[in-house]
Homo-oligomer: A and B are copies of this chain.
Amino acid sequence: MEYLGGKISIDVNDKVFLKDPRSSKLGNKIIEGAIDLIDEIGFEEFTFRKLASSINSTEASVYRYFENKHNLLVYLTLWYWGWLEYRLVFRLVNVEDPYERLDRAIKTLTEPIKQDSDFTQIDEVKLNRIVISESSKIYLHKLVELDNSHGFFKPYKDLVQRVCDIILEINPGYKYPHMLISTCIEGAHHQRFFAEHLPRLTDILPDEDAVTTFYLDLIKKAIQK
């Protein structure tokens, strides 16, 4: 899929970095290198020293861009939510029927990710694996309310709200649209993680994207009047 051929970029909340990594060659290498390295060794094993060595730079230089590795992970996650909202908007534009809109929205949120040629510097497939395995660590910690006060969760809320609006168009009386959509987004991540690492915890069916089918069915039944 390509809409604009590299002519746009996803803006990320500037409180998350010390210096914008998009503003220099080294900054871009930090983002690309971080995606490769976190995907490879996981967030716990990932350190700025290892990242610096993998891109032939130094630890102190990485610290000029990000206060710590937590904020770097927040950056990657915010970019991802921004990118996903951009994709969602494109897949819904000019589609009027709310049922068709909901179907497209759920698929956008739950289907496996393919490379997006509009953003050649970012490997969305690796980034999706990172979001699945690591992104919940950005809010499952004691400073979540501080991060929230900086607006780090706004892109996620915006994304959820867009789908809520469709649900409320279909059934204005449905009481739990936010719970339903965040359950669906987080749940789809969990199920894909389970399917890969703990298959006995899910229901794998060959030749079918069971995750998307399951959440499509779940949401449609949930919002029935």
Contact = CB atoms under 8 A, between A and B. Distances in A.
Interface string A193-212: 11001101111010000110
A176 interface: yes
Contacts of A45: 142
Contacts of A157: 200-201
Contact of A176 (B200, B214, B224): B214
7 contacts: A44-B141, A139-B193, A140-B193, A176-B203, A176-B214, A179-B211, A221-B221
Contacts of A156: 201
Tell which of A177, A202, A211 has the most Cβ of chain B within 10 Å: A202
Instruction: Categorize the interface residue count of chain A.
Output: 35 or more
Interface of A: 41-42, 44-45, 133-134, 136-137, 139-142, 144-145, 148, 153, 156-157, 160, 175-180, 182-183, 186-187, 190-191, 193-194, 197-198, 200-203, 205, 210-211, 214, 217-218, 221-222, 224
A198 B142 contact: no
One complex includes copies of this chain to the number of 2
Tell which of A157, A177, A202, A203 has the most Cβ of chain B within 10 Å: A203
B198 A190 contact: no
Contacts of A221: 221-222, 224
A182 to B, nearest CB: 6
